[in-house]
Amino acid sequence: MRSIPLEAGLVLGVALVWAVLAAVYRFSPALGMPGYVRVWGAGAVMFLALAMPLLRWR
């Protein structure tokens, strides 16, 4: 079993939520707000990048 640090787990969780929301905005015709896709999507990528140094410690 492999463990990941709490900090990395939390930041990855944030990236996942933002990615899911970006996808919801992208594929839901009722919303029709491309700006949300851009911002939440960019946020997901940013938090994913932030998680990398937290994971690499071990």
**Which residues make up the interface to other proteins (CB under 8 A)?**
1-7, 9-11, 13-14, 17-18, 21-22, 30-31, 33, 35-36, 38-40, 42-43, 46-47, 50, 53-54, 57-58
Torsion of CA 13, 18, 20, 22, to 10 degrees: -170
Q: How far is the CB of 31 from other proteins (least distance, A)?
A: 6
Q: Are 22 and 48 in contact (CB under 8 A)?
A: no
Q: How far is the CB of 19 from other proteins (least distance, A)?
A: 10
Reported as half-sphere exposure (CB side, CA atoms, 13 A), residue 48 has a value of 11
